[in-house]
Amino acid sequence: MEADLKTESGRELVRALVSKADVFLEGFRPGVTERLGFGPDVCTELNSRLIYARMTGWGQDGPLAQRAGHDITYLALTGVLHAIGPAEKPTVPLNLVGDFGGGSMFLILGIVSALYERERSGTGQVVDAAIVDGTSVLAQMMWSLRGSGQWSDSRATNLLDGSTPFYDTYECSDGKFVAVGALEPQFYAALLQGLDIAPESLPDQMDRSGWPTIRERFTEAFSSRTRDAWAALFESTDACVAPVLSPAEAALHPHLAQRGTLVEADGIVQAAPAPRFSRSMTVQPSGARPPGVDTTAVTKDWLGD
C-alpha cells in the first residue's frame, strides 16, 4: 500500500493501520517518525501490543545517531572492516556483514523475540536495531579470541583470516579458484592425500614458521589442474575443498538445485526462503506486486470497514 506521509490523510491512514497491526517497521533517522506524527509514543498509545521496530546504522542515540552512513562506514567503526582482507589493506565484504547480517537479520530476530515476549506480557515494545550493534555481535568470536590472547589486530595473521595455507583460496590452471578449509587434522590429511603430497615432506600443520613452505606446495599443486578437475577429485572426500563458483554457476550446482536453494521467479534467479520448517510452508517468491494494487480491498480487510 502507499501513503503520502506529508499529508494528514496519509498519516491518518498509517495511524489507522497501526491500531490493528502486529509490527511497525521504520528505517528513518532518529526523530523523523516522531516529527511526522507516528512515533513510538503515538503508535503504542493506539496499540499497546504493537512491536515498534526501528532500523538504523548508528542506533537511536549516541554522537553519530543523526549522521549518514553506509555498510562500509559501520564496519569501519566497529573494528570489523580492519580484520577483513590481506595484510596490505582491508577488503570490503560486499554489504553482507553490516547491512544484512548485522542489520536486517538482527532486526528480524528482535521482532520475533518481541512477539514471543508479548505472548507472556501482553504488551509490545520498541526494538532498536543498529547495524553497529549487530555487526559487533557477529564479530564476538573475534573479540573472545582477542580477549584470550589468540587474536592479533594485524590482518592475515590469524587462523581464519587467510593467513593459514589450509584455510585459503588457490588459483587453478584455468585461472579459476578453489576454496580450502581443512582445519581439523583428519580433514587436512584428506587434503594432502588428494593433492598427492606426503605428510612427511611438509612441516607440521600448526607450525607457523612452516606455513610459507606449505602454501608454496599447495599453490604449485593446485595450479596443475583445472578448478573443475579438483572439484571432482575432492567431491567425495572430507577435505573441505570446494570450487569457487560464480553466481551463474551456483544456480546450476546439483546440490543447490536439488534443495531448491536458488529458484527462478519471473525469469529472475533468487534465493528461496530460509530456514525451512517441518510443518509450516514457506512461500516461494512469485514476483513483487507494485504498491497500490488492491489498496481499497486491503484497507477494508485490515480495518474491517
Distance, in Å, from the CA atom of 180 to the CA atom of 190, rounded to the nearest integer, reads 11
Grid coordinates in use for 130? 543498529
Q: Identify whether 99 is a catalytic site residue.
A: yes
E strand residue ranges, the chain: 23-26, 51-56, 126-130, 167-171, 177-181, 241-243, 262-265, 268-271
Nearest CA to 230 out of 242, 248, 213, 238 is that of 242
Indicate the SS3 state at residue 245.
coil
Task: Considering the candidates 71, 99, 128, 161, report the single residue annotated as catalytic.
Answer: 99
Nearest CA to 244 out of 72, 234, 236 is that of 234
Q: Are 273 and 286 in contact (CB under 8 A)?
A: no
Q: Identify whether 70 is a catalytic site residue.
A: yes
Indicate the SS3 state at residue 170.
strand
Task: Considering the candidates 41, 61, 70, 238, report the single residue annotated as catalytic.
Answer: 70
Residues involved in catalysis: 70, 99
